[in-house]
Amino acid sequence: MKRYSVFAVAREALRNHQGWDRAWAKADPKPRYDAIVVGAGGHGLASAYYLGRNHGITNVAVIEKGWLGGGNTGRNTTIIRSNYLQDPSAAIYEKSRSLYETLSQDLNYNIMFSPRGVMMLAQTQHEVRGYLRTAHANALQGVATEFIGPERVKELVPIIDTNGPRYPVLGALWQPRAGTARHDAVAWGYARACSAMGMDIIQNCEVTGIRREGGKVTGVETTKGAIGCDRLGIVVAGHSSQLADMAGFRLPIESVALQALVSEPIKPCMDVVVMANTVHGYLSQSDKGEMVIGGGTDGFNNYTQRGSWHHIEETVRALVETFPMLSRLKMLRQWGGIVDMTGDRSPIISKTPVEGVFVNCGWGTGGFKAIPGSGWAMAELMAKGASPLAEEFSMFRFREGKFIDESVAAGVAH
């Protein structure tokens, strides 16, 4: 596959862009692979990529029931940060954030990583104490964050009203090297790199069953026929319980829709990401100028990938208190994605009761930021049977009571 470079752009400009290769090859399933990854979202594609890059396993298929990147990876609000409270979380999210720093160069694909800074507003005394605690924890973990006062918040985000009527801004947890990346490009970049290593990305192919013999995986049944494998990675986010059911075990996962919306495009007015957990909303401005607005999850479990009216109203009403200028904007579109929630709001990267089957899920409302680190750990687990980054994220922690509680610390964990 030809490398993308400034010379390639110049060359193709001169010959009317007739010489570009397809970004990834169209593939039909082979009878057997060394490893199969189900789900061509960011996490599945990254798992396959690091299987090849770090462990030399390239006889791999990534099987996707729809189109690659069409799940949560293509529906999220792209916040990348690593300011978590617990040590195992900080380790994997910081690994991920640091991989994002050079991901465009690693993949030879511009994923538009923008380390513009993320701030989490403290709008109650309880939040002030909580974020001071996180800032101290981050200092010990080697994650660069700081607690800043309202004046600095106003300096960084001039459109904010720090003296709001109900919840004045008392400060913020600020991570200067956190930010955003282009979500589709992350999936496309990994897909292209996987394809370049000879892996098969098989789209429009749903996994409908998991074959086992003597407690060990032997392959999958799909809408394009049966495919054999020795190792199977289940990386399907909100559909993880369905795949676990096919493999004969249960996961502590609830599936629920999370919604987001964007406004009409406006001139640049905010160059950081702001999360307001007390009023429950978060905001950034896309390169096109749209205000990207994230809200909360639906109050009931469901599989609908849709938005709803009351969510727009609740989210925008909450944010208008702190960002009065939003009240003048027209909202352009809204959508939802099916996120996979665990009880402690931490992910699962784990072996399972079926030998050769591994599961990566439970990233809930905040897994986009984790894609490179999660793929790195999942690949190591699938290749070697253990990964230091994944050790604490076993699915069996719920049986043993070894929770990694990020629910209270994170508020909304995007």
Ligand X SMILES: Cc1cc2nc3c(=O)[nH]c(=O)nc-3n(C[C@H](O)[C@H](O)[C@H](O)COP(=O)(O)OP(=O)(O)OC[C@H]3O[C@@H](n4cnc5c(N)ncnc54)[C@H](O)[C@@H]3O)c2cc1C
Q: Distance of alpha carbon 66 from its chain centroid, rounded?
A: 18
Site for ligand X in 269-308 (CB under 6 A): 294
Q: How far is the CB of 90 from ligand X (least distance, A)?
A: 15
36, 38, 99, 293: which one binds ligand X (CB under 6 A): 38
Which residues, in sequence order, are bridge partners of residue 219? Answer: 211, 228
Q: How far is the CB of 14 from ligand X (least distance, A)?
A: 37
> Widest CA span of the chain, in angstroms?
65
Site for ligand X in 243-262 (CB under 6 A): 243, 258-260
Residue type present at position 311: H
Judged by beta carbon, residue 57 or residue 256, the one nearer ligand X is: 256
Answer yes or no: are the C-beta atoms of 311 and 292 closer than 8 Å.
no
User: How far apart are alpha carbons 93 and 409 in whole angstroms?
Assistant: 15
39-71 in b/e form (b: 16+ CB < 10 A) is bbbbbbbbbbbbbbbeeebbbbbbbbbeebbbb
Judged by beta carbon, residue 118 or residue 162, the one nearer ligand X is: 118
Q: How far is the CB of 309 from ligand X (least distance, A)?
A: 16
Q: How far is the CB of 92 from ligand X (least distance, A)?
A: 12
CA-based torsion, 370, 234, 42, 109: positive or negative? positive
Answer yes or no: are the C-beta atoms of 406 and 86 closer than 8 Å.
yes
Number of residues that bind ligand X (CB under 6 A): 40
Judged by beta carbon, residue 46 or residue 162, the one nearer ligand X is: 46
Which listed range, 16-24, 40-48, 52-60, 169-177, lies at the site for ligand X (CB under 6 A)? Answer: 40-48
39, 88, 117, 372: which one binds ligand X (CB under 6 A): 39
Nearest to 228 by CA among 241, 217, 240: 217
Q: How far is the CB of 13 from ligand X (least distance, A)?
A: 33
Site for ligand X in 187-206 (CB under 6 A): 206
Site for ligand X in 355-374 (CB under 6 A): 363, 365-369
User: How far apart are alpha carbons 283 and 261 in whole angstroms?
Assistant: 10
Judged by beta carbon, residue 8 or residue 332, the one nearer ligand X is: 332
Q: How far is the CB of 365 from ligand X (least distance, A)?
A: 5
237, 272, 390, 395: which one binds ligand X (CB under 6 A): 237
SS3 call for 228: strand
Exposed/middle/buried for residue 133 (C-beta within 10 Å: 0-12, 13-18, 19+): middle
User: How far apart are alpha carbons 375 and 369 in whole angstroms?
Assistant: 11
Judged by beta carbon, residue 4 or residue 366, the one nearer ligand X is: 366
Residue type present at position 179: G
Nearest to 372 by CA among 155, 193, 174: 193
SS3 content of the chain, % helix, strand, coil (to 5): 35, 25, 40
Per-residue mark of binding to ligand X, 61-90 (x: CB under 6 A): --xxxx---xxxx-xxxxx-----------
Helical H segments across 15-102, by residue range: 42-55, 87-101
Residue 41 lies near ligand X (rule: CB under 6 A): yes
| 20: DSSP letter | P
Residue 120 lies near ligand X (rule: CB under 6 A): no
Q: What angle do CA 41, 351, 50 make, to 5 degrees?
A: 45
4, 35, 37, 42: which one binds ligand X (CB under 6 A): 42
Q: How far is the CB of 405 from ligand X (least distance, A)?
A: 18
Which listed range, 10-18, 100-108, 121-129, 236-244, lies at the site for ligand X (CB under 6 A)? Answer: 236-244
Judged by beta carbon, residue 5 or residue 204, the one nearer ligand X is: 204
Q: How far is the CB of 324 from ligand X (least distance, A)?
A: 23
Which listed range, 231-239, 309-317, 319-327, 393-401, lies at the site for ligand X (CB under 6 A)? Answer: 231-239
SS3 call for 75: coil
Q: How far is the CB of 235 from ligand X (least distance, A)?
A: 6
Residues of this chain that bind ligand X (CB under 6 A): 38-44, 63-66, 70-73, 75-79, 206-207, 235-237, 239, 243, 258-260, 294, 337, 339, 363, 365-369, 414
